Chain A
Amino acid sequence: MQPVIDLTNLALAYPEMMLAVGAMVLLMIGTFSGEASVRLVTGLSVALLVATGLWLAFMTGEGTAFHGVFILDPFAHFMKILVLIGSALAIAMSVSFARVEKFARFEYPILIILATTGMMLMISAGDLIALYMGLELQSLALYVIAAINRDSLRSTEAGLKYFVLGALSSGMLLYGSSLIYGFTGQTGFVEIAQAITNHGSSLGIVFGLVFVLAGVAFKISAVPFHMWTPDVYEGAPTPVTAFFAAAPKIAAMALFVRIVMTAFEPITTDWQQIVVFVSLASMVLGAFAAIGQTNIKRLMAYSSIGHMGFALVGLAAGNQAGITGVVLYMVIYMAMTLGAFACILAMRRKDGMVENINDLAGLSSSNPVMALFLTALMFSLAGIPPLAGFWAKWYVFLAAMEAHLYMLAIVGVLASVVGAFYYLRIIKIIWMDEPTGSFMPMAGELRLVLGASGLFVIFYVLFGGSLLTTAETAARSFF
């Protein structure tokens, strides 16, 4: 092999380069003008993420770069835009919180940009090494962000817990990767698939598969690798939790889809068993464990575990309809989660933030608009038609039926019914319970996010068709 720099398709990676260079420029601005520049850096960060998203949206051209380790196909394209939207909104949603809670630090948006760069590289990874490095870039930034409120004991604990467990999951991922490399002699996804097709599967490859999937399942917080989620969600500052619940989940899910659909495509029956188990366990645990929660951030953590389980139903099906379902599920999940967190961020009394579900009591009389949107979001999270959350579940269960995974679909529907209990309980508290005190007025950016997400879930039926077409185009990348 002649060692050369492969720059033929360098243009495909321009958005990532723009983000990385932009982060460094912003870091310089922040460092040299000190804490006074927090607003400027925050604004510029959102602008940078939006600009990158627009660039990606209008960018044409597909293919691979750097000897095939960087893939840009319609799937990567779509997921990257989604991740960029999630990150930009997460930064925007932190503005008023940062002002009031004295948590303003210019490094926060910069770390989010660097984490987003990592997520985009994960989505585009076509090789085990690229996968791991993208994942580490993302995770390392996330560990720091979780502990960013370093004067708070809970935030530090969340960061440390996330770091220790994340390092463990990285270890498992690397161990699996080394087994796969050892038994196939390849690190590229396409080459691994070829090697498995040519030489057949072996016990070592299956072992490697299990460990790699365990590592990735940790990142999407699927059962049995979910233990960190409630503690980290509860301990981290709320804007950070809002960020954790949206963009990183999408990137990790995209990575999950990519690795099983390309590298392990020849041993579909092997990974299908694992995904079916993980999906079942996540749905059931997400439904039952959330019932006893009183803290709304912990509740959202269990809700997100459950939703990851539902999304994995589509992946377990492994057909084109299933992948379309996963893509669609992630879009709708992100819209619902960001809206719900906009409400949680608005739960501020005169004496500070409150996080208890019972604090929502009587919201319908003190802030009817917020109550209305939050109700729509809760109905959607529970999967009540005709809201967006229902269609998300509809497509993944339909795909599971197509793939003859009847058990999975039935348990999924039952889990969804059980899960509806705690979403409906919140609605009951909002509309039926006596008010215990009113919240401070909602900040402008939170209204914007809540409005957008509420309108998205309510009017999804009207424009869902065009979104479905886009998701289908994205899913076709694998078939």
Chain B
Amino acid sequence: MTFLTAMFFYLFSGVAIGAALMVISSRNPVHSVLFLILAFFNGAGLFMIAGAEFLALILIVVYVGAVAVLFLFVVMMLDVDFVELRQGFLQYLPVGSVVGLVLLGELLIVLGASIISPEIAGTALQPIPDPAIRSNTAALGDVLYTHYIFYFQLAGLILLVAMIGAIVLTLHHRPKVQRQNISDQVARTKETSIEVKQVESGRGI
């Protein structure tokens, strides 16, 4: 790791951790979501350093572009009193930190296992190509529409079902709703929309 990469690594990770802390500690939920977006961007930067440029871009496109915007909508539309929700935050702290410690311990054990039995790494099906020779995006493109065409199509079908399901469960046809009809509006002429009336003086219409 050169000095420059190291510098960027610490920059991205530092900002990411700071932003993540702000997500859970800021008072305004809209600020929380904005900090979440900042954390995502820095995560994407870390992926970039690791040579996973595809993941980095997907993180920005999917999480920042879609998920975070959805969160923003939800936070703004739902009438949740976040101050009330956060009351008694400190009393959950001991349990929360125990859960965190257990997770940390598990992570260390997993890391330890890969040191204890390194042969597991050797059984990987296909070694990831060196990013210097072939970029992630190209390597994925090589197999996604060829070797994995079956899964790709299947994923499409699953998304179709999700779409049908969302419509089936939420769309209500209300007959009395006034809808805007653009073509009707555009097709209006001066004759159909303006009526000239002669008004006698001293009288209303």
Say yes or no for A462: interface residue by CB 8 A criterion.
no
Query: Within 8 Å CB of A147, what residues of B?
Result: 169
Chain A residues 91 to 131 lying within 8 A of chain B, measured CB to CB, are 105, 107, 110-111, 114, 117-118, 121, 129-130
Q: Which of A3, A136, A144, A186 contacts B142 (CB 8 A)?
A: A3
Tell me, yes or no, whether A67 is within 8 Å of chain B by CB: yes
B115 interfacial by beta-carbon distance below 8 Å: no
Instruction: Answer yes or no: B158 CB below 8 A from chain A CBs.
Output: yes
Q: State whether the Cβ of A429 lies closer than 8 Å to any Cβ in chain B.
A: no
Q: In the complex, A210→B115 CA distance in Å?
A: 25
A187–B161 contact, CB under 8 A? no
* Identity of the chain B residue whose Cβ is nearest the Cβ of A140 in the assembled complex: B161
Q: A107-B168, A185-B123, A195-B123 are in contact. Are A140 and B158 (CB under 8 A)?
A: yes
Whether A4 and B146, one on each chain, are in contact in the complex, defined by CB atoms closer than 8 angstroms, is: yes
B66 to chain A, nearest CB (A): 19
Given contacts A67-B147, A186-B125, contact A144 B157 (CB under 8 A): no
Cβ of A27 < 8 Å from any Cβ of B? yes
**How close is A24's CB to chain B, nearest CB, in angstroms?**
8
Q: In the bound complex, what is the Cα–Cα distance between A182 and B114 (angstroms)?
A: 11
A3 vs B160: C-alpha distance when bound (angstroms): 27
Cα distance, A24 to B164, chains bound together (Å): 11
Q: Tell me whether A133 and B165 are in contact (CB under 8 A).
A: no
A3-B146, A5-B146, A195-B123 are contacts. A144–B164 as well, Cβ < 8 Å? yes
Check B125–A185 contact: CB distance below 8 A.
yes
Main secondary structure of the interface of B (DSSP, over half): helix
Known: A4-B146, A4-B147, A141-B161. A148 touches B123 (CB 8 A): no
- Number of A-B residue pairs, CB cutoff 8 Å, is 83
| A319 on interface, CB distance cutoff 8 Å | no
**Chain A 292-336 interface residues, beta-carbon cutoff 8 Å to B:** none
Most chain A beta-carbon neighbours within 10 Å: one of B120, B126, B147: B147
Q: Are B154 and A144 in contact (CB under 8 A)?
A: no
Residues of the B chain whose Cβ atoms lie less than 8 Å from the Cβ of A187: 125
Q: At the interface, yes or no: A134 with Cβ under 8 Å from chain B? A: yes
Q: Whole-angstrom distance between the alpha carbons of A137 and B169 in the complex?
A: 17
| Residues of chain A from 143 to 160 with CB closer than 8 A to chain B in the complex | 143-144, 147-148, 150, 159
Question: Secondary structure at chain A's binding surface: helix, strand, loop or mixed?
Answer: helix
User: Interface 1/0s, chain A 191-212, versus B by CB < 8 A?
Assistant: 0000100010000000000000
Residues of B close to A143: CB separation below 8 A: 165
B168 close to A148 (CB less than 8 A)? yes
Contact with A along B156-185 (1 / 0, CB 8 A): 011011101101110000000000000000
Please give, as numbers and ranges, the residues of chain B lying within 8 Å of A121 by CB-CB distance.
Answer: 154
The 8 closest A-B pairs by CB, nearest first: A185-B123, A144-B165, A66-B150, A3-B146, A133-B154, A3-B142, A107-B168, A140-B161
Closest to B125 in A: A185
Bound together, the chains give a CA A110 to CA B167 distance in angstroms of 13
Residue B85 CB within 8 A of the other chain: no
Bound-state CA distance A117–B164 (Å) is 15
Q: Which chain A positions have C-beta within 8 A of B120?
A: 182-183, 185
Q: Given A182-B120, A187-B125, A20–B157 Cβ distance below 8 Å? A: yes
A147 to B165, CA, bound (A): 10
Q: How far is the CB of A205 from chain B (nearest CB, A)?
A: 11
- What's the minimum C-beta distance from B117 to chain A, rounded to whole angstroms? 9
For A20, list chain B residues within 8 Å (CB).
157
Residues of chain A touching chain B, judged by Cβ–Cβ distance below 8 Å, are: 1, 3-6, 20, 24, 27, 65-67, 69-70, 105, 107, 110-111, 114, 117-118, 121, 129-130, 133-134, 136-137, 140-141, 143-144, 147-148, 150, 159, 182-187, 195, 199
User: For the complex, what is the distance from the CA of A159 to the CA of B169, rounded to whole Å?
Assistant: 10
Asked whether any CB of chain A lies closer than 8 Å to the CB of B151, the reply is: yes
Find chain A residues with CB under 8 A from B167 CB: 107
In the assembled complex, which residues on chain A have CB atoms less than 8 Å from the CB atom of B7? Answer: none
Given A133-B155, A134-B154, A182-B120, A114:B161 Cβ within 8 A: yes
- Residue B149 interfacial (CB < 8 Å): yes
**A134-B124 Cα distance, complex, nearest whole Å:** 24
Give the CA-CA distance A272 to B21 in the complex, in Å: 48
Given contacts A111-B168, A184-B123, A187-B125, contact A70 B150 (CB under 8 A): yes
Q: In the complex, which of the residues B125, B151, B168 has the most CB atoms of chain A within 10 Å of its own CB atom?
A: B168
Q: Cβ of A111: which chain B residues have Cβ within 8 Å of it?
A: 161, 164-165, 168
Q: Bound state CA distance, A141 and B150, in angstroms?
A: 19
Complex CA gap A195/B151 in Å reads 23
Chain A nearest CB, measured from B92 CB (Å): 23
Q: Report yes or no: B169 in contact with A144, Cβ–Cβ below 8 A.
A: yes
Chain A neighbourhood of B124, CB < 8 A:
185
Q: Check if B168 sits within 8 Å of A105, measured CB to CB.
A: yes
B143 at the interface (CB under 8 A from A): yes
> Can you give 25 A-B contacts (C-beta < 8 A)?
A3-B147, A4-B147, A5-B145, A5-B149, A27-B164, A67-B147, A110-B164, A114-B161, A129-B151, A134-B154, A137-B154, A137-B157, A140-B161, A144-B164, A144-B165, A147-B169, A150-B168, A159-B169, A183-B123, A185-B123, A185-B124, A185-B125, A186-B125, A187-B125, A199-B123
Q: How far, in whole Å, are A1 and B146 apart by their CA atoms in the complex?
A: 12
User: Chain B residues with Cβ under 8 A from A159's Cβ?
Assistant: 169
